[in-house]
Amino acid sequence: MAVAGVIAEYNPFHKGHAWQLTQLRRVLGADTTVVACMSGNFVQRGSFAIMNAHARAEAALHGGVDLVLELPTPWATAGAERFAQGGAAVLAATGVVTHLAFGCECAALAPLRQAAESLGDPAYPAGLRRFLGQGMTFAAARQAAVHMLAGDAADCLSQPNNLLAVEYLRALKSQGSPIIPLALPRVGAAHDSETASPYPSASAIRRMLLEGDGWQNVLPQPTSAIVSREIQAGRAPVQMETCQRALLFQLRRMSEIDFLPYDGGNEGLYRRFYAAVHAGHTLDGILALAKTKRYPLSRLRRMLLQSCLGVPQAAQGETPPYLRVLAANERGRALLGQMRKTAALPVITKPGHIRRLSKEAQRVFDQEARCGDLYALAYPDLGQAVPERGYTVSPVML
């Protein structure tokens, strides 16, 4: 029986992802078990998740996933390369996942593989530097450098889900993983699109939730019920701006050199970011001041979030040191039984399991729990921001 994994971009609010799960089981078989490695309370776009990790994981079960594992913050809030290396490593460490399924615009492995190979070609760095030197943005320079090596296959790098797919392929190869990649067509509105669609983007749904209107008509009924429950409890919708003054306080107390660990490219961006922090008076204002043709908004959002949390992105080659279960249904619990024999990392299903972790794994978990405490401060009802929940909350079991 196939066990398919989907990495952290899986979104229980996105009808297109539910459609992809249907397609996945059509390809691999109706009895395919699906494992999702999902971002926790902070997401790759450089923001607070609209709803907390356990509630989103519960919605994922209703959407067709059987087992949800957490991708810790150092990987979940990183650029595509580190994001992919963390997610692929989590799925491989289960010892049971046979396929890695992902939605992408081109829905074909051949050009993605060619692009992935080119990014690892010894000639690629020189080409990238050449085009950056001509004043191109990083994205355009990367595509141009790959085009020199792979021709039209480089065209796939112009679309965001293709980019992630390429990084998944690179991660599987670098980790020597036996997991088989499976490319599925992406349907629905374009990434970050705000336009109406039968499959609206996650950004459009997020806007509806924040505005308090329209989301009831686009979410599946079980997910809608969970969202309603969280809203009534005062735990949703969550947005970064709720904590704006506290985050600005944290940023302004940092010296210029304090921003260096969050630079990512060691290009001196931390100096520009420090200047923006001391010239802007809102989070959006800081991002606008720091943005240039070379530094896209997505990278700056991640840098801002990482700086506020005090959590740099994971280092090259670094992978999560444990498998934390957020939610499981009956089929997922059966898979957990198998993982007791196959998992290469400790599996956390109860708060008590935290005490058995290695010192390094304990450090990462402690950091994740602290980030969870900070996330809760953005709940609409501050009375719900109970600290230390990372050490006490159990997985959702359906």
* Strongest mean pLDDT among 46-50, 264-268, 293-297, 390-394: 46-50
pLDDT on residue 124: 97
**Tens-digit pLDDT profile for residues 353-390:** 888 899 999 999 999 999 999 999 999 999 999 888 88
Which of 83-87, 173-177, 185-189, 204-208 is predicted least confidently? 185-189
The per-residue pLDDT for range 306-336, each reduced to its tens digit, is 999 999 999 999 999 999 999 999 999 999 9
∠ CA(249), CA(254), CA(255), 5° rounding?
A: 145
Identify the pLDDT of residue 14: 64
Rounded to an integer, the average pLDDT of 163-167 is 96
- Can you give the pLDDT at residue 107? 81
Of 108-112, 217-221, 247-251, least confident by mean pLDDT is 217-221
Output the CA torsion sign for 379, 380, 386, 392.
negative
Total residues found in the chain within this entry: 398
Amino acid 352: pLDDT: 83
Q: What's the Cα-to-Cα distance from 356 to each of 72, 93, 174, 333, 352, rounded to whole Å? A: 18, 18, 29, 21, 8
Mean pLDDT of the chain: 91
pLDDT, tens only, 175-205: 999 999 999 987 654 555 455 556 677 778 8
Q: What is the pTM of this model?
A: 0.94
Q: How far apart are CA 213 and CA 209, in angstroms?
A: 7
Q: Are strands 67-71 and 323-328 parallel, antiparallel or unpaired?
A: antiparallel
Above 90 in pLDDT, residue 228? yes
